[in-house]
Amino acid sequence: MIIRPYNSRDVQAALWLAREKKMQVSVLGGGHDWAGRSLNEGGIVISMGRMNDIKIDPLQHVARVGGGIKAKELIAAAAPYKQLAVTGSIGMVGFAGFTLGGGYGPLSPSYGLSIDNLLGAELVLADGSIVYASETTYPDLFWAIRGGGGNFGVVTSLTVRLHDAKPILSGLICFPWSEAETILQRYAAFIKQAPDQLSSSIGLLPAPDGSPLLFIAPTWYGEISEGQRTIDQFREMGTIVMEQVTPMAYGDVLAMFDQHVVVGRHTSIQTRWMADLSADVIGEIGIAGNERTSPFSMMNFQYFHGASTRVALADTAFGLRKPHFMIEILSIWEPDDAANAQRHIQWAEKLSAKMGKDKAAFPGGYPNMLGPEEYDQIDEAFGTNLPRLQLLKQQYDPGRVFNGISIPQ
């Protein structure tokens, strides 16, 4: 059964029905979940797409958004006021789910993770009660949802901090994959000294013919001429195959990867947290790029630094605040290639396993990207925050109605 609520009372009724019928519940926010956790066989899916109101208070620099909106919708609504929110790097991602799991994005070095900009949230809890969690009301619940995912209730609205927009310089610089190892070494050394104005990711994108390209996607948030000088250092790292870096609106930054996120393709993702990209890991990345089993598969490595690292670990449920690379290995294939699905999945798993054995690997991984069967990484993903999360899970959802990002029992 799929229930499409218009308001929190509808969500409340859906949970009462699920309890009466003893049916499992899952929640689909505004976007998608590659691992399929938004759906459940024989259960109830609460699909939040109709809860897509956005109210901007430009004087207070605050937005209140429904649980079903996408990141690009929030950015479009705030743009007339010359304000913006911390989002991920892809506009079609659901904002609520992205935020509850942490929320890395182009503005994170300047303003922190998305959870660091969450001021409050309305939730419908497992018992059907409707509450508002913030620093002053239900503060323990507010702590838990900032990094603990969808484990504590159905989030029907979020109140988020907005920021005055500054000039943005962003785009793509692509290099031949044959130079990947050299450029990755240079990049890893450079990015650790990056100022807060700079966010960037590096990885593998398919060329139009499906062959691998190494890309660097910089986003400079601040004075353009200074950004040009900084980004010039990326240009000097290798032989440029293609480049398009230009001043742009934040909404256009979020649209840069849209062509690579194709609805209907099958996807399996592996993720790691790495303190550094060692020579061994860089070598394995180079090999994996040459051994891709699908022309659509990608890699994306974001460096976590700046304002995000200046939040104390115990202030939110998010499990890692030290500088690190957040690794995404995305195996992507067409539905008519189902016979090779296991081959594609194993390609990503092989590289992830080798990274996990490196001395630079942190335990765990980014919860939003961890598949439900990555038990060892899930056990470590919340770090020292896990015991408190487990206690709050027992308090607010003793029957384990919600299981968005699994908290180990």
CATH code, domain with 194: 3.40.462.20
Distance CA 324, CA 362 (A): 9
Q: What is the pLDDT of residue 271?
A: 97
- Judge if 212 and 272 occupy the same domain: yes
- Judge if 138 and 195 occupy the same domain: no
- Judge if 270 and 242 occupy the same domain: yes
Quick one: which H or E segment has residue 217?
strand 212-221
Of 18-32, 108-122, 351-365, minimum mean pLDDT range? 18-32
Tell me which of 164, 195, 222 is where a domain ends: 164
State both tokens at 224. 């353009």
Average pLDDT, stretch 30-52? Answer: 90
Tell me which of 125, 146, 164 is where a domain ends: 164
Q: What is the pLDDT of residue 404?
A: 58
Q: Is the pLDDT of residue 393 over 70?
A: yes
- Judge if 125 and 185 occupy the same domain: no
Q: What is the pLDDT of residue 40?
A: 84
Q: What is the pLDDT of residues 199-226, one digit of tens each?
A: 999 999 999 999 999 999 999 999 999 9
CATH code, domain with 92: 3.30.465.10
Contacts of 30 (CB under 8 A, 6+ apart): 48, 49, 52, 67, 68, 69, 70, 73, 93, 94, 95, 96, 97
44-47/25-28 β-pairing: parallel
| Confidence category of residue 407, pLDDT binned at 50, 70, 90 | low
* 390 within domain boundaries: no
* 256 within domain boundaries: yes
- Judge if 53 and 106 occupy the same domain: yes
| Confidence category of residue 406, pLDDT binned at 50, 70, 90 | low
* 297 within domain boundaries: yes
- Judge if 130 and 265 occupy the same domain: no
Q: What is the pLDDT of residues 286-319, one digit of tens each?
A: 999 999 999 999 999 999 999 999 999 999 999 9
> Looking at per-residue confidence, does 246 or 401 come out higher?
246
Q: How many domains does the chain have?
A: 2
Q: What is the pLDDT of residue 372?
A: 87
With CA atoms as reference, report the closest residue to 311 among 102, 105, 3. 102
Average pLDDT, stretch 28-52? Answer: 90
Q: pTM of the prediction?
A: 0.95
Average pLDDT, stretch 118-146? Answer: 97
* 129 within domain boundaries: yes
Q: What is the pLDDT of residue 302?
A: 96
- Judge if 175 and 323 occupy the same domain: yes
* 178 within domain boundaries: yes
DSSP characters over 368-387 = GG--TT-HHHHHHHTGGGHH
Q: Is the pLDDT of residue 33 over 90?
A: no
Q: What is the pLDDT of residue 408?
A: 60
| Confidence category of residue 183, pLDDT binned at 50, 70, 90 | very high
For residue 23, report the phi and psi dihedrals to the nearest 5 degrees. Answer: -110, 145
- Judge if 281 and 302 occupy the same domain: yes
| Confidence category of residue 261, pLDDT binned at 50, 70, 90 | confident
Contacts of 15 (CB under 8 A, 6+ apart): 25, 124, 126, 128, 154, 401
Average pLDDT, stretch 87-114? Answer: 95
Distance CA 349, CA 284 (A): 12
Average pLDDT, stretch 345-350? Answer: 97
* 69 within domain boundaries: yes
- Judge if 243 and 334 occupy the same domain: yes
- Judge if 96 and 195 occupy the same domain: no
For the chain, the first-to-last Cα distance in angstroms comes to 28
> Looking at per-residue confidence, does 346 or 379 come out higher?
346
- Judge if 184 and 138 occupy the same domain: no
Contacts of 43 (CB under 8 A, 6+ apart): 1, 18, 23, 24, 25, 26
* 388 within domain boundaries: no
- Judge if 274 and 202 occupy the same domain: yes
Distance CA 386, CA 149 (A): 13
Distance CA 219, CA 233 (A): 13
Q: What is the pLDDT of residue 353?
A: 97
* 122 within domain boundaries: yes
Three-class SS of 46-80: EECCCCCCEEEECCCCEEEEECCCEHHHHHHHHHH
State both tokens at 40. 């459940």
> Looking at per-residue confidence, does 264 or 364 come out higher?
364
Domain that holds residue 72: 49-164
Tell me which of 106, 132, 164 is where a domain ends: 164
Q: What is the pLDDT of residue 409?
A: 56
